[in-house]
Amino acid sequence: MNQVPLSHILFVSAALFFIGMYGLFTRRNMITMLMSVELILNSVNINFVAFNKYLYPEKLEGIFFSLFIIAIAAAEAAVAIAIIINLYRNFRSIDVEDAGEMKF
């Protein structure tokens, strides 16, 4: 089987990471920011799996690590959504700029 080269996968991962980064920096909506964080985490997952498969095919640490990350990301999403709901209850908005009470 003609394998996809590692660099291609790394490129996808890097693209995903920067898209996530860009979204995190530019979006003011908490949910889209959360989604961006998920993108970043996923790009890391891809990296882990890719390095595991291409560099150490006989080992499984990379795969386990990404499974861990998926679990933590799920927990993180639950916490984040709880925060978002609380934010919405307090400010009637999930725009981060509206939550400026503690500023200055």
Partner 1 sequence: MPNYVYIALIPLLPLAAFVVLGLWGRKYLRRLSGVIGTGAVLASTGLSLWTAYRYFAACLADGACRPVVPLKVTWLTFSPGLSIDMSIILDPISVMMIVVVSFVSLMVHIFSLGYMKGEARFGTYYAFLGLFTFSMLGLVLSGNIFEIYIFWELVGCSSFLLIGYYFDRPSAVAAAKKAFIVTRFADLGFLVGILILSFHAETLDFRTLIQRLTEPSPQLASITTASFLGISLLSWGLVLVFIGGAGKSALFPLHVWLPDAMEGPTPVSALIHAATMVVAGVYLVARLYPVYAYAGPAVLQVVLYIGAVSAILAAVIACTQTDIKRVLAYSTMSQIGYMMFALGASGYTASMFHLFTHAFFKALLFLCAGVIIHKVHSNEMKDMGGLRKLLPLTHGCFLIACLAIAGIPPFSGFFSKEEILQAAFHANKFVYAIGLFTSGLTAFYMFRLYFSVFRGRRPHDVGSHHGEGPLTMKLPLVILAAGVIFAGFVPFSRFVTYDGAPEKAHAIGAFAIAPVTLALAGIFMAGYLYRKESDRPAKAAAALGGLYKFAYHKFYIDEVYSFITKKIIFNLIGRPAAWIDRNIVDGLMNLLAAVTAKVSAGIKGFQSGKVQDYALYFFAGIAVLAVLFIYIYT
Residues 25 to 44: which contact partner 1 by CB under 8 A? 25-26, 28, 33
**How many residues are there in the chain?**
104
For 18, 22, 34, 38, 42, the CA distances from 15, given in Å and listed in that order, are: 5, 10, 18, 14, 11
**3-class DSSP state of 29:** strand
**Span interacting with partner 1, options 54-62, 65-73, 78-86, 92-100, rule CB under 8 A:** 92-100
Q: Which of 32, 63 has the CB closer to partner 1?
A: 32
**3-class DSSP state of 95:** strand
104 interacts with partner 1 by CB under 8 A: yes
Residues 41 to 70: which contact partner 1 by CB under 8 A? none
Contact set with partner 1 (CB under 8 A) = 21, 24-26, 28, 33, 96-97, 100, 103-104
